[in-house]
């Protein structure tokens, strides 16, 4: 059984890693664990946190937020980026920051229970020499450690909207369903246009980023959406929530639907576009988006469903994002017929 041997080797390697880590101050990232071609069995092996249960980042690890984030059943998300010392990320217009090999993106998902924050899972994206690798870690009941769960898992949680759900923690392959582009794993979130300008400036000042891109679009802050045109807030939402699959060379490329912010051909982002492989997801409707008519737009129908086979996104949601649906409805309602 080669697996067992392989797992033992991983365990052995991590024991060695722990020993090395214990010789360094707590909260110092272990670069070797990020780079090694292995699946570290515990989150603590990386040393991303000075205090992991409290989600206090360690040395060299920086917290960030997105202007318009991906919604995941209303989970509170704690996002961090690590860029190795002596290296720098490069800004490429408004697109994804080009993070050097050795970097890591860390995202913890939490829900409130009895007024207290409960960590459910932490997902890491590691930039290795061979490319990006994605691993999910699930927190134990005592909130002391998160363990690798390549087959994913689930947890009973109550969303901030008060819905009791069977929250799904994606497996390693499902990580790639959203993070896959042209067959390779890639980050989704940290696009310069979706990061606060002030944060980018701080990253430049700290030497972690080469420059703040000039002239690039800036996505609106989701919480301020009432103050910007629905067109901008809705397109930012679709970019952050849908476009990682709905773009050329990604998981939903065969649908022909392209929901990226930069797509400016209305038919490509769904206006009067027939579905291709929607099946019962079409809900007896004829077009993805009917201007002025959200009730007859498949995109709204699927966002407003939590039923597998109908619901969009297919992964990472067991309930409906009422705010997201409302904003997309508003945008479609305002479109000239």
Partner 1 sequence: MIRTLLFAGLLASAAPVFAETHRVGPGPDAQQKLQEALILAKSGDVVELAAGRYVLDDGLSLDVDGVVLRGAGADKSVLDFTHQKSAGEGLLVTSDNVTLRDFAVENPKGDGIKSKDADNIVYHAIRVEWTGGPKETNGAYGIYPVESDGVLIDGCIVSGASDAGIYVGQSNHITVRRSIAKTNVAGIEIENSRNALVSENIATHNTGGILVFDLPSLPVMGGGNVIVEKNVVKDNDTANFAPKGNIVASVRRGTGILIMANDQVLIENNAITGNATAGVMVVSYVNSFDDKRYNPYPRHVTVGGNAFEDNGTDPQIDGAPMLLKAFGGKLPPVLWDGLGDKASALYVAAGIQGWSLNLPAQGKGLADAKPAPLDVATPPAPFDRDGIGAPAALEQRIG
By CB under 8 A, name the one of 26, 95, 256, 291 that touches partner 1.
256
Residues 134-163, mask of contacts with partner 1 (x by CB under 8 A)? ----------------xxxxx---------
Q: Are 68 and 190 in contact (CB under 8 A)?
A: no
Paired sense of beta strands 61-64 and 56-57, if any: unpaired
Residues 6+ apart with CB under 8 A from 318: 73, 165, 166, 167, 168, 306
Q: Cα(115)–Cα(119) distance, rounded to whole angstroms?
A: 13
By CB under 8 A, name the one of 115, 162, 198, 279 that touches partner 1.
279
Q: Are 118 and 112 in contact (CB under 8 A)?
A: yes
For the chain, the C-alpha Rg in angstroms (whole number) is 20
- Number of residues near partner 1 (by CB under 8 A): 48
Residue pointed to by tokens 């664990």: 33
| 166 touches partner 1 by CB under 8 A | yes
| 305 touches partner 1 by CB under 8 A | no
Q: Nearest distance from residue 244's CB to partner 1, in Å?
A: 15
Q: Nearest distance from residue 175's CB to partner 1, in Å?
A: 10
| 2 touches partner 1 by CB under 8 A | yes
| 9 touches partner 1 by CB under 8 A | no
Q: Cα(268)–Cα(242) distance, rounded to whole angstroms?
A: 13
Q: CB-wise, 84 or 275, nearer to partner 1?
A: 275
Residues 207-246, mask of contacts with partner 1 (x by CB under 8 A)? ----------------------------------------
Q: CB-wise, 59 or 268, nearer to partner 1?
A: 268
Helix (H) or strand (E) holding 126: strand 116-128
Q: Cα(315)–Cα(190) distance, rounded to whole angstroms?
A: 20
Dihedral of CA 210/211/217/220: which sign? positive
| 108 touches partner 1 by CB under 8 A | no
| 174 touches partner 1 by CB under 8 A | yes
DSSP one-letter string for 295-324: GGBHHHHHHT--STTT-SSSSS-SS--HHH
Q: Which residues bind partner 1 (CB under 8 A)?
A: 1-3, 6, 150-154, 166, 168, 171-174, 176-177, 180, 183, 248, 251, 253-254, 256, 267-268, 273-287, 298, 307-309, 314-315, 318
């Amino acid at each position: 059984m080669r697996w067992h041997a392989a797992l033992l080797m991983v365990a052995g390697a991590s024991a060695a890693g722990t020993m090395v880590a214990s010789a360094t101050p707590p909260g110092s990232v272990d670069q070797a664990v990020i780079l090694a071609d292995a699946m570290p069995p515990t989150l603590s092996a990386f040393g991303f946190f000075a205090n992991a249960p409290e989600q206090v980042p360690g040395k060299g690890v920086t917290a960030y937020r997105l202007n318009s984030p991906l919604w995941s059943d209303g989970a509170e998300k704690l996002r961090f980026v690590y860029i190795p010392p002596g290296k720098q990320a490069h800004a490429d217009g408004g697109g994804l920051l080009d993070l050097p090999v050795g970097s890591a993106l860390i995202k913890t998902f939490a829900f409130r229970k009895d007024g207290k924050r409960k960590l459910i899972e932490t997902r890491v994206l590691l930039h290795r020499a061979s490319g990006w690798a994605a691993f999910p870690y699930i927190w134990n009941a005592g909130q002391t450690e998160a363990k690798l769960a390549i087959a994913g898992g689930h947890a009973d949680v109550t969303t901030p909207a008060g819905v009791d759900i069977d929250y799904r923690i994606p497996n390693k392959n499902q990580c790639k369903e959203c993070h896959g582009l042209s067959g390779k794993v890639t980050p989704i979130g940290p696009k310069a246009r979706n990061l606060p300008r002030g944060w980018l400036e701080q990253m430049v000042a700290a030497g972690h980023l080469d420059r703040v891109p000039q002239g690039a679009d800036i996505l609106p802050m989701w919480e301020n959406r009432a103050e910007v045109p629905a067109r901008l807030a809705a397109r930012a939402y679709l970019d952050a929530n849908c476009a990682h699959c709905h773009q050329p060379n990604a998981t939903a490329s065969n649908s022909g639907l392209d929901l990226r912010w930069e797509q400016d051909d209305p038919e490509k982002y769904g206006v009067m576009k027939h579905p291709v492989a929607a099946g019962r997801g079409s809900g007896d409707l004829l077009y993805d988006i009917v201007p002025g008519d959200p009730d007859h737009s498949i995109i709204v129908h699927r966002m407003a469903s939590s039923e597998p086979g109908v619901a969009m996104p297919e992964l990472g949601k067991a309930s409906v994002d009422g705010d997201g649906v409302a904003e997309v409805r508003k945008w479609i309602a305002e479109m000239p017929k």
